[in-house]
Amino acid sequence: MGESPIERSMGTIRAVFWDLGGVIIRTEDRSRRVNWEDRLGLAPGELDQIVFAGEMGRKAALGEASASDVWTWVSERLGLDDQQAQVLRRDFWRGEDLDQDLVAYIRRLKSNFRTGLISNAWPEIRAQIENEWGIADAFDDLIISAEVRLAKPDPRIFRLALDRLGVEAGQALFVDDFTENTKAAAALGMHTVHFKNSGQAQEQVESILGSQAI
């Protein structure tokens, strides 16, 4: 039997959505990126902007380019030869860390809630999620921007995520480290948590879930 209109309007949380980069996967060691910025005369944080927010990075996030396309564009933009480009690509990702404790928490949530991932990511990310990191089982659905050709904070990606898990906005909670993304989700009526660190995020999630929490 389906929910009554009254039950659907009560705002009971049925699904918890999570961001990937900056939340589940975080850059804990930025030293190699800082070294490259110093070497190339870039401002602090500029390398991240070039890779992710540059023309080709934005295209990759919408499924219009591959990771190889991005790194070719980046190397040309920075004037690197092939060997330098290979080293930069390797160094850029070396400080990334998978928060296994947070993934374990999401797996526990899945026993009582539907769980989803909403990530602005390049086309290759699904293979990493499923094969390299082995965390796909923590989620009922993976919404990857490159696959759906929509990227946060576009409200359409949140509506798609809600539809695919069969929940109303008021029945969903979304965790992300960018305020423009949490604001966009909140504008649709979703509950949100602005991620700062794993402990803070879990505490706020538990607070919102209240008596529903595991």
| pLDDT tens, position by position, 150-173 | 999 999 999 999 999 999 999 999
Give dist(CA 16, CA 7) in Å, integer.
18
| pLDDT score at 169 | 97
In one-letter notation, the amino acid at residue 140 is D
Count Cα atoms within 13 angstroms, Cβ side, for 78: 28
Q: How confident is the model at residue 10 (pLDDT cuts 50, 70, 90)?
A: very low
| pLDDT score at 84 | 97
Q: What is the mean pLDDT of residues 111-128?
A: 97
| pLDDT score at 125 | 98
Q: What is the mean pLDDT of residues 183-193?
A: 98
pLDDT tens-place string over residues 53-106: 999 999 999 999 999 999 999 999 999 999 999 999 999 999 999 999 999 999
Give dist(CA 34, CA 49) in Å, integer.
13
| pLDDT score at 7 | 37
Enclosing H/E stretch for 15: strand 15-18
Chain-wide mean pLDDT for the chain? 94
Q: How confident is the model at residue 1 (pLDDT cuts 50, 70, 90)?
A: very low
Q: What is the mean pLDDT of residues 128-133?
A: 97
Which DSSP symbol is given to 137? G
For 212, the 3-state DSSP assignment is helix
Query: Which residue shows structure tokens 């944080």?
Result: 45
Number of CB atoms found within 10 A of residue 86's CB: 13
With a pLDDT cut of 70, the percent of the chain lying above it is 93
Q: Nearest Cα to 201, choosing from 190, 210, 192, 211? A: 192
| pLDDT score at 210 | 85
For 21, the 3-state DSSP assignment is strand
Q: Is residue 11 over pLDDT 90?
A: no
Q: Is residue 111 over pLDDT 50?
A: yes
| pLDDT score at 214 | 58
The three-point CA angle 165-167-170 to 5° equals: 140
Q: Which two tokens stand for residue 185?
A: 């989700």
Q: How confident is the model at residue 212 (pLDDT cuts 50, 70, 90)?
A: confident
Give dist(CA 63, CA 57) in Å, integer.
10
